[in-house]
Chains A and B, each alone.
Chain A
Amino acid sequence: MKIVFKHLCKYFGRVKAVDNLNLEVGDGEFVALLGPSGCGKTTILLMIAGIYKPSKGFIYFDQRVINDVSPKDRKIGMVFQSYALYPHMTVFNNIAYPLKLKKVPRKETKERVQKVADMMGIGELLDRKPAQLSGGQQQRVALARALIKEPEILLLDEPLSNLDARLRIMMRSELKRLQKDLGITTVFVTHDQLEALTMADKVAVVNSGYLQQFSGPDELYNHPKNLFVAGFIGSPPINFISVSLQKSDGRFLLKNRDLQIELAKEIGLKAENNSTSSEILLGIRPEHITINKKEGIETEVYVVEPLGRDILVSVKLGKSMIKVFASPSFKANIGDRVKLNFNLDKIMLFDKKSEKSLLLDKD
């Protein structure tokens, strides 16, 4: 089933939790709502579920406006961050509860519960109470309860945040596989950009109630639309350097006190056309900088952090700190003079005032 938001708003008193959201989740898509905590993403999920009513705008399931449809008539399944299992019921009764409310015959209920429980790998736990289960098992019960209704839309609120690190990585791939196998339109909320990038087909980045960008993981990482998205996606985060764009003899230069970079002509032209002033921010990811001791921009090593596969070097460029990935063979000590080279194909440029990317085509 397709989900469409049109001019969707939700206000709590004077607080705008969601502001004018327009978004389309295609049938069978796995979509992540990504944003820092308190940005309104769970509110969006609860509006899809029918727990919150939109203050303005509409939500469509396929062609139908469902603003006023009660949760039980929406054919949705939802897994909450806290799992929200009913503590006084056994696992079996927890999973069977939606069927019990639909007055499904006993025998059929039993079969269906067993089937979904086996699929989730909790077939042996049906007689236990939720308190006797581990976090991972509780989550499977919650998933089974959401899936047993055979919903057309699956909603997951921070599905991995209550699991330990190892389990999280395992469930990440399992959830992704499950969603592909079942083909249910799925929306999940997360504050972890890695989760969003690894699992989702498309990611909607939300901040303070606004949609920042909605696109595939690759696009999001390589062509962020604005400063917020660029800064939020990626770990370690992207480096920002304040520069001014200057033009001399038809050459485009990015300059500040500590560096000078010449831009390719088409990039320079685009930036010049899109920018409102010459003050811009240069963004470059740590893996797009190479470090050596021979030639490039002069810097000084601040600290070196080995990560195993590679090492993360923090260097001081004037007043700003820049993080760079280097190969494990690179040896440097604190205070060493080193030189940086930027991969000019991968740099991003943002307008300081509007915070928008300067390298995208204008609408």
Chain B
Amino acid sequence: MRLPQKSRAALAYLVLIVPSALIVLGFLWLFITSFSTRTEGLRSLGWTLRNWSFLWESPFGPQYPSIWWVTLNTLVMSLVMTLIVVVVSSMTAYALSRMKFTGRKSFLSLTLILHAFPSVTLLIPIYFVLIWVSKIPVIGRGVPLLGGLGYNTIGGVALVMVAFQLPFGIWVMKGFFDNISWDMERSALIDGASRFRVWWQIMMPNIKPGIAALSIFSFITAWNAYLIPLTFTAGRAGKSAVLSLYLQNFISESVMTEWNAVAAVGLFQLIPVVIFFLFTQQVLLNIYGGGKKGGV
């Protein structure tokens, strides 16, 4: 029953190539469909640009925000979330990796538990927390651009995503800090730097690969986010809508879903990520680069 060496190798390649082909086909379909009136499989039954008309006119009527407003929302949310995640996780990771303080071990175990903890199970109570935050004056609902930090605001959604991303971020950053030589930090302390300066002027410039990896990862996560914006904003095409919701809205609003138009919007959301990804994949594949020592 033993297969010859060659055919077993062939079988292995088949197992890799067939599913890989599915991914390629899916993306090809997305591309072809968005420029077609109709498709059968990958065959276009007529080319058109009409599917892309959402770029210049709102498909739901003028009372709804345009795609550009939604894109701006998504961009702001993603950038804010990325910035906070990177700054807060690197501060926390620095303290955990490099400083002695009472409670260090417990805090370390805590982040590790949170890293594995399924945060989505907490969506229900977080809904209430956000409603409370909404009631705080100014920061609740009065921040320009973000809307605020409470329920149904860009800032609120960003904040929840920060929370969900933070344990991962801390863990990734700690891996990178752990690998920096102690002598360099000692040397900076002897030169007269405070711990804060050491963190900012000496450590941060030396973990750029880690910062890059975490930033890219966080940005893509935020840009793609669906569940959290869906849960914590009201109305899918409202002022605080993001691209994922806008797209989902497209699918369910129209009685007869116009798949070609949906594909165009989907591609619109996907293209920046893919371009971004192509330029940064090397960095992204190394996200655990810092933590190699621990195996993970």
Contact = CB atoms under 8 A, between A and B. Distances in A.
Contacts of B190: 49-51, 71-72, 74, 76-78
A50 B188 CA distance: 12
Given A101-B197, A102-B192, A80 B187 contact: yes
Interface residues of A, number: 25
A72 B189 contact: yes
B191 interface: yes
Q: Which secondary structure characterizes the binding site on chain A?
A: loop
B192 A51 contact: no
A98 to B, nearest CB: 4
Contacts of A51: 186, 189-190
A292 to B, nearest CB: 53
B58 interface: no
Contacts of B41: none
Most A Cβ at <10 Å: residue of B186, B189, B191: B191
A97 interface: yes
Interface stretch (A83-91, A213-221, A314-322, A336-344): A83-91
Interface string B178-221: 00010110111111110001000010011000000000000000
B183 A49 contact: no
Contacts of A72: 189-193
Contacts of A86: 184, 187-188, 202, 205-206
Contacts of A82: 181, 183
B191 A145 contact: yes
Interface in B159-189: 181, 183-184, 186-189
Given A86-B202, A88-B206, A101-B192, A78 B197 contact: no
A139 B41 CA distance: 67
A84 B181 contact: yes
Nearest to A78: B190
Interface string A45-62: 010011100000000000
A46 B189 contact: no
A82 B190 CA distance: 15
B158 to A, nearest CB: 30
A81 interface: yes
Contact of B191 (A70, A81, A97): A97
Interface string A167-209: 0000000000000000000000000000000000000000000
Contact of A101 (B183, B184, B191): B191
Nearest to A148: B191
Contacts of B189: 50-51, 70-72
Q: Which secondary structure characterizes the binding site on chain B?
A: helix
Nearest to B187: A84
A101 B193 CA distance: 6
Contact of A98 (B181, B186, B191): B191
A71 B205 CA distance: 23
Interface in B86-110: none
A24 to B, nearest CB: 23
A60 to B, nearest CB: 19
Contacts of A149: 191-192
Contacts of B191: 72, 97-98, 101, 145, 149
Contact of A49 (B181, B184, B186, B202): B186
B184 A84 contact: yes
A78 B192 CA distance: 12
Contact of A80 (B186, B192, B193, B205): B186
Contacts of B184: 84-86
B192 A98 contact: yes
Contact of B183 (A70, A74, A81, A98): A81
B98 to A, nearest CB: 12
B154 to A, nearest CB: 34
Contacts of B183: 80-82, 84
Nearest to B208: A88
A78 B189 CA distance: 11
Contacts of B206: 86-88
A76 B186 CA distance: 12
A92 to B, nearest CB: 14
A101 B195 CA distance: 12
Contacts of A76: 190
A139 to B, nearest CB: 13
A276 B188 CA distance: 52
Nearest to A76: B190
A86 B183 CA distance: 10
A88 B208 CA distance: 10
Nearest to A101: B192
A76 B181 CA distance: 20
A81 B187 CA distance: 11
A84 B186 contact: yes
A15 B119 CA distance: 41
A77 B191 CA distance: 8
Among all A-B residue pairs, the 7 with the closest Cβ atoms: A84-B183, A72-B192, A84-B187, A88-B205, A101-B192, A80-B183, A98-B191
Interface of B: 181, 183-184, 186-193, 197, 202, 205-206
26 contacts: A71-B186, A71-B189, A71-B190, A71-B192, A72-B189, A72-B191, A72-B192, A72-B193, A76-B190, A77-B190, A78-B190, A80-B187, A82-B181, A84-B181, A84-B183, A85-B184, A86-B202, A86-B205, A88-B205, A88-B206, A97-B191, A101-B197, A102-B192, A145-B187, A145-B191, A149-B191
Given A49-B190, A51-B190, A149-B192, 15 more contacts: A46-B186, A50-B189, A71-B192, A72-B192, A76-B190, A80-B186, A82-B181, A84-B181, A84-B183, A84-B186, A84-B187, A86-B202, A97-B188, A97-B193, A98-B192
